[in-house]
A = this chain, B = another copy of it.
Amino acid sequence: MPSTVSANPLHLVAVTGGTHGNEMSGVCLVKHWLRDSSELVRDTFTAVPLLANPKATENCVRYYERDLNRCFTMDILSSPELQDEPYEVKRAREINRLFGLRGSTNAFDMILDLHNTTSNMGVCLIISEAQRHLEMHVCHHIQKHLPNYNPRIYLYAEPGVELYDLCSVSKYGIGFELGPQPQGVVRADTLQTMRTLVQVTLDFINQLNQGKEFPAFEADVYQRVGHVDFPRAPDGEISAVVHPSLQDRDFSPLHPGEPAFLSLDGKMIPYNGDQQIYPVFINEAAYYEKKIAFIVAEKIRLSIPALCTTGGQGSP
């Protein structure tokens, strides 16, 4: 690995909310910035707000016909438009055109996509994979500047699976996932935290564009490796709920044999994996229909090279 990687200056940044229409921090902030975008202004680049899924936002639901944040595959983006396609499939293509076409040199430089979760995830910074050095620097910058939030870095890409989320349209992308916040509710504290994350990120980009170098560092990340469904009755209904001793303990280690679920007739059901894991997105409302009670992650220590704007060695 090179000791320093370099990036071209970032010119176009999008800040997107309402990708899921009932995740209200981003919905409220983006609606505010669409009226007054002054706090997104920086010297060296343009940042634009976008309400990603207006129809879901209007109805205060995660999605109208299909989860928008699973629609940005090259297959969908490159297909001709059909009349009776789901709203979100059409909207994904529209956003792809707005943001300069995924994978092209015209693509936006960065998307900051604003999300909430009902899980006790605190401040979670989501990027696709460890090789995303520029995004890793953004996350590290946030961790250094906002230590009281205890921001965690979560890597979601699955080996061999094409990226399908909104952030994959731009050259770089980060999701801010804040919780716990119920769907359809905006909490002032969560809103303010989200706003601060965006400010600190825009400041980082500005400093990078101005030629500042960011030194190498080591960081812990949580790498998605799988998920666990709820125990279910033969008819498919949930037969157990997340155990009280696991609820709200996102990012804490869970060992084989420790309580994972509590059945409706009162029995403790242990985690039956074969090694220690770090559960995340524990009891997220939107994942019931996806048959996910929690995501299984591993904690990994990464070494990230220094970062500068073009002129250094390598590329991020």
Task: Please report A residues at the B interface, Cβ cutoff 8 Å.
Answer: 28-29, 31-32, 35-36, 60, 118, 180-189, 191-192, 233, 237-238, 241-244, 247, 262, 264-265, 283-286, 288-289
Contacts and interface: CB of A to CB of B under 8 A. Distances in A.
A188 B244 CA distance: 6
A184 B61 CA distance: 12
Given A183-B285, A184-B286, 5 more contacts: A28-B238, A28-B264, A31-B237, A181-B182, A186-B283
Given A32-B264, A36-B265, A60-B288, A184 B185 contact: no
How many copies make up the complex? 2
A241 B184 contact: no
A35 B184 CA distance: 32
Contacts of A285: 182-185
A247 B189 CA distance: 9
Contacts of A180: 182
A65 to B, nearest CB: 13
A31 B243 CA distance: 19
B189 A244 contact: yes
Nearest to A240: B188
Contacts of A182: 118, 180-183, 185, 285
30 contacts: A28-B264, A29-B264, A31-B237, A32-B264, A60-B288, A118-B182, A118-B184, A118-B185, A180-B182, A182-B185, A184-B285, A184-B286, A185-B283, A185-B285, A185-B288, A186-B238, A186-B241, A186-B283, A187-B242, A187-B247, A187-B283, A188-B241, A188-B242, A188-B243, A188-B244, A188-B247, A188-B262, A189-B244, A191-B241, A192-B244
Contacts of A288: 60, 184-185
B187 A184 contact: no
Nearest to A61: B61
A233 B264 CA distance: 46
A183 B186 contact: no
A284 B187 CA distance: 11
Contacts of A286: 184
A66 to B, nearest CB: 15
